[in-house]
């Protein structure tokens, strides 16, 4: 089966893009203002509205397969139309591998990672239609993974720090993990980290007060390297995390990006040193890698070094969906945890495909997306997984 037509539609993504380096360098940061000068190439301002290119494949059967490329200019996508119209949709993996290769038409360059992400979403959805299977079942078949998960994968509900009602809703809905609550500037965590300390205490106390029976979530906080800025010495940082652990009790505590080093080797070394220090001190805080852990080779490097407890697999950064599948499986083979994540700046389309990938590969948890409204991302991911499980069970009963 080959596509009969392809369309490209420019639309809105779920959030916005931010020049993190400019924010980190600024002496003060107000998230509602964008008058900080950008320092990362490609940014016109420190905060910009997100856009998406929807790639729509029309199939001979009348079906439509869609993939969303997040935050790239239109150049590069339309030039793939001749290849798209000639590719065989009966299998996905071969097509995904071709998308990842350099293109003669681009003078030996690869497509932008976001274009690869959107193209492979559309191709994967098209193969599922051609095979009359769910996307998760296609992945399980082509990667020889057996059956899909029989229950939804845990979701980290990404919440605003200053929205107490949002936190209460996530507790009411029994979000397996929360609140993410980004701390992007040293001022966010306060002098000696006391603002962060108080916030962790507030979240844990609120859960204890309002938790439904049997609800025991994990707590996750993304600090964007701010702890390393305030506590540059590893032992002091570990001691602070030990105090933070006490505030989080009785809930498990995960800290994402406690440090941002100037290079990948330095990042791996410093995170490994922090993790070793935490183990020596018997401090039960799990470390999640994000910065410098962007591509499949990066993820392999972090996993091989056993530097962290979890890596975040940021699906748009890896490019093709097949790369994220391989990343989850590599982490599992190395005994390291992983979050199948991405960006608040994604869409409902990419989020639903992420949910299907999760059913097939079973990562430790997902990051709620799109947006950081939490409710919407939790709904989209949860419902897509529940539908996928129900469809797989129905197909199995018919055999």
Work out the mean pLDDT of the chain and round it to a whole number. 92
Q: Give the whole-angstrom CA distance, residue 302 versus residue 267.
A: 9
pLDDT at 77: 47
Does the pLDDT at position 72 exceed 90?
no
Q: How far is CA 294 from CA 157, 220, 298, 323, 387, in A?
A: 21, 20, 6, 11, 30
Q: State yes or no: is 314 an active-site residue.
A: yes
Does the pLDDT at position 74 exceed 60?
no
How many CB atoms lie under 10 A from the CB of residue 192?
A: 11
* Mean pLDDT (whole number) for 195-200: 98
How many CB atoms lie under 10 A from the CB of residue 250?
A: 8
21 labelled binding-site residue: no
With bands split at pLDDT 50, 70 and 90, how would you rate the model's confidence at 75? very low
Q: What percent of the chain has pLDDT over 70?
A: 93
Fold of 155-398: TIM Barrel (3.20.20)
pLDDT at 106: 82
pTM for this structure?
Answer: 0.92
Tokens of 351: 């989020």
Cα distance between the two ends of the chain: 25
pLDDT at 34: 61
* Mean pLDDT (whole number) for 202-211: 97
β-bridge mates for residue 222, sequence order: 256
Fold of 5-142: Enolase-like; domain 1 (3.30.390)
* Mean pLDDT (whole number) for 97-103: 94
* Mean pLDDT (whole number) for 354-358: 99
Q: What percent of the chain has pLDDT over 90?
A: 79
The residue whose two tokens read 């893009």 is 17
Q: For the chain, what is the total number of helices (H) and then of strands (E)?
A: 16, 11
pLDDT at 240: 98
pLDDT tens per residue across span 279-288: 999 999 999 9
**Per-residue b/e over 37-76, b at no fewer than 16 CB within 10 Å?**
ebeeeebeebbbebbbbbbebbbeeeeebbbbbbbbeeeb
H or E stretch including 267? helix 264-280
Q: Which of 39-43, 165-169, 213-217 has the lowest mean pLDDT?
A: 39-43
Selected residue with higher pLDDT from 50 and 316: 316
Per DSSP, 103 falls in state B
* Residues 6 or more apart in contact with residue 143 via CB below 8 angstroms: 93, 325, 329, 360, 361
With bands split at pLDDT 50, 70 and 90, how would you rate the model's confidence at 398? low
Selected residue with higher pLDDT from 80 and 310: 310
Q: Which of 84-88, 116-120, 165-169, 193-197 has the lowest mean pLDDT?
A: 84-88
* Residues 6 or more apart in contact with residue 33 via CB below 8 angstroms: none
Question: Among 265, 256, 264, which residue's Cα sits nearest to residue 287?
Answer: 256
pLDDT at 26: 75
Selected residue with higher pLDDT from 169 and 46: 169
Does the pLDDT at position 78 exceed 60?
no
Catalytic residue among 2, 173, 264, 314: 314
Query: How is the chain split into domains, by residue range?
Result: 5-142, 155-398
pLDDT at 185: 85
pLDDT tens per residue across span 5-36: 999 999 999 887 777 677 767 766 665 556 67
Does the pLDDT at position 263 exceed 50?
yes
Q: Give the whole-angstrom CA distance, residue 97 versus residue 323.
A: 9
Does the pLDDT at position 116 exceed 50?
yes
pLDDT tens per residue across span 155-184: 999 999 989 999 999 999 999 999 999 898
198 labelled binding-site residue: no
256 labelled binding-site residue: yes
Per DSSP, 193 falls in state G
How many CB atoms lie under 10 A from the CB of residue 301?
A: 18
């Amino acid at each position: 089966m080959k596509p009969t037509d392809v369309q490209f539609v420019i639309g809105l993504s779920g959030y916005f893009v931010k020049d993190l380096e400019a924010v980190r360098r600024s002496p003060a940061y107000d998230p509602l203002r964008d008058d900080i000068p950008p320092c990362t190439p490609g940014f016109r301002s420190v905060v910009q509205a997100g856009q998406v290119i929807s790639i729509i494949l029309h199939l001979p059967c009348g079906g439509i397969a869609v993939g969303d490329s997040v935050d790239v200019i239109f150049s590069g996508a339309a030039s793939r139309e001749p290849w798209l119209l000639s590719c065989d949709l009966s299998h996905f993996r071969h097509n995904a591998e071709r998308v990842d290769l350099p293109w003669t038409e681009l003078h030996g360059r690869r497509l932008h990672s976001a274009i690869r992400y959107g193209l492979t979403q559309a191709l994967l959805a098209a193969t599922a239609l051609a095979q009359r299977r769910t996307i998760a079942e296609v992945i399980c078949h082509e990667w020889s993974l057996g059956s899909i998960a029989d229950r939804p994968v845990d979701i980290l509900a990404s919440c605003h720090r200053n929205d107490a009602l949002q936190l209460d809703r996530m507790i009411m809905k029994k979000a397996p993990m929360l609140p993410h609550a980004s701390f992007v500037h040293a001022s966010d965590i306060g002098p000696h980290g006391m603002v962060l300390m108080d916030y962790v205490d507030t979240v844990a106390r609120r859960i204890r007060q309002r938790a439904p029976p049997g609800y025991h979530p994990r707590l996750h906080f993304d600090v964007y390297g701010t702890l390393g800025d305030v506590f540059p010495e590893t032992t002091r940082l570990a001691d602070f995390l030990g105090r933070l652990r006490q505030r989080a009790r009785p809930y498990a505590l995960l800290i994402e990006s406690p440090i941002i080093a100037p290079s990948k080797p330095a990042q791996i070394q410093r995170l490994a040193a922090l993790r070793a220090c935490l183990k020596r001190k018997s401090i039960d805080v799990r470390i999640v890698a994000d910065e410098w852990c962007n591509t499949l080779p990066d993820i392999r490097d972090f996993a091989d070094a056993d530097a962290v407890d979890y890596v975040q697999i940021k699906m748009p950064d890896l490019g093709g969906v097949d790369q994220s599948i391989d990343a989850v499986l590599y982490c599992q083979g190395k005994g390291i945890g992983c979050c199948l994540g991405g960006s608040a700046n994604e869409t409902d389309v990419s989020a639903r495909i992420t949910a299907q990938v999760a059913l097939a590969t079973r990562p430790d948890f997902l990051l709620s997306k799109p947006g950081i409204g939490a409710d919407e991302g939790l709904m989209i991911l949860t419902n897509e997984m529940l539908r996928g499980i129900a469809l797989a069970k129905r197909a199995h009963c018919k055999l």
